[in-house]
Structure 1
Amino acid sequence: MTRPITPRITRSALLGEFFAEFFGTMILILFGVGVVAQVVTGGFPTTTGATGDYNSIAWGWGLGVTMAVYVAGRLSGAHLNPAVTVALAAFKGFSARKVVPYIGAQLAGAFVGALLVRWAYSDAINRVDPGHTKATQGIFSTSPDIGVSIPTAFLDQIIGTAILVMVIFALTSAVNNPPLGNTAPLFIGLLVVGIGLGWGANAGYAINPARDFAPRIASWLTGYHDAMYSTNGPELYFWLPIVAPLVGGLIGGALFVFGIERFLPAAITEPAEIGVVEPTPLR
Structure 2
Amino acid sequence: MNGPGSRRQANAWTRLRQHTVGELLAEFLGTAVLVLFGCGSVAVAVAGLPGSGRESVPFGAANWLIIAWGWGLAVVLGVYVAGGVSGAHINPAVTLAFAIRRKFPWYKVPAYWLAQVAGAFAGAAVVYAVYLSAINAFNLAQTPPITSRADSLSTFSIFATFPAKYFGNSPWGPFVDQIVGTALLVALIAALIDTRNMAPGSNVGPFTIGLVVVAIGLSFGTNAGYAINPARDFGPRLLTFIAGWGNKAFPGNGDWFSNYWWIPIAGPLLGGIVGILVYDLFVGQVLGVRPAPEAAPTPEPGRVRGSDESGTA
C-alpha change, 1:53 and 1:194, in structure 2 (3 Å) is same
Q: Using the alignment, how far apart are the partners of 1:35 and 1:250 within structure 2?
A: 29
CA deviation after TM superposition for structure 1 residue 231, in Å? 2.8
Quote the residue 1:12 is aligned against.
Answer: 18
Contact 2:121 2:239 in 1 (8 A): yes
Contact 1:206 1:241 in 2 (8 A): yes
Quote the residue 1:131 is aligned against.
Answer: 148
Identity %, equivalent residues: 44
Quote the residue 2:127 is aligned against.
Answer: 117
Matched, 1:32 2:38: yes
Alignment-mate amino acid for residue 176 of structure 1: N
- Any residues of structure 2 matched to 1:207-222 within 5 Å, and which? 207-222=228-243
Quote the residue 1:281 is aligned against.
Answer: none
User: Which of the two has higher C-alpha Rg?
Assistant: 2
C-alpha distance after superposition, 1:78-120 (max 9, x if no partner): 0000000000000010011111111111001000000111111
Quote the residue 1:170 is aligned against.
Answer: 191
Q: Using the alignment, how far apart are the partners of 2:111 and 2:260 within structure 1?
A: 25
CA RMSD after TM alignment: 2.6
Is the deviation greater in 90-99 or in 39-48?
Answer: 39-48
CA deviation after TM superposition for structure 1 residue 12, in Å? 3.3
Alignment-mate amino acid for residue 222 of structure 1: A
CA deviation after TM superposition for structure 1 residue 268, in Å? 6.0
Q: Using the alignment, how far apart are the partners of 2:56 and 2:77 within structure 1?
A: 27
Show structure 2 runs of 5+ residues with no match: 1-10, 140-146, 295-306
Quote the residue 1:280 is aligned against.
Answer: none
Relative to its length, the structure with more helix (as a share) is 2
Quote the residue 1:47 is aligned against.
Answer: 58
Show structure 1 runs of 5+ residues with no match: 278-283
CA deviation after TM superposition for structure 1 residue 174, in Å? 2.6
Alignment-mate amino acid for residue 232 of structure 2: R
Contact 1:145 1:232 in 2 (8 A): no
Give the SS at the match of 1:219. Answer: helix
Contact 1:86 1:250 in 2 (8 A): yes
Give the SS at the match of 2:268. Answer: helix
CA deviation after TM superposition for structure 1 residue 201, in Å? 1.2
- TM-score w.r.t. the length of structure 1 is 0.87
Quote the residue 2:211 is aligned against.
Answer: 190
Q: Using the alignment, how far apart are the partners of 2:80 and 2:175 within structure 1?
A: 31
Give the SS at the match of 2:246. Answer: coil
Q: Using the alignment, how far apart are the partners of 1:155 and 1:213 within structure 2?
A: 18
Q: Using the alignment, how far apart are the partners of 2:237 and 2:183 within structure 1?
A: 23
CA deviation after TM superposition for structure 1 residue 15, in Å? 1.1
CA deviation after TM superposition for structure 1 residue 135, in Å? 2.6
- Any residues of structure 2 matched to 1:83-94 within 5 Å, and which? 83-94=93-104
Quote the residue 1:255 is aligned against.
Answer: 278
- TM-score w.r.t. the length of structure 2 is 0.79
C-alpha change, 1:45 and 1:205, in structure 2 (3 Å) is farther
Contact 1:175 1:266 in 2 (8 A): no
Q: Using the alignment, how far apart are the partners of 2:191 and 2:255 within structure 1?
A: 37
More contact order relative to length (CA 8 Å, sep ≥ 6): 1
Contact 2:165 2:256 in 1 (8 A): no
CA deviation after TM superposition for structure 1 residue 9, in Å? 4.0
Contact 1:83 1:208 in 2 (8 A): yes
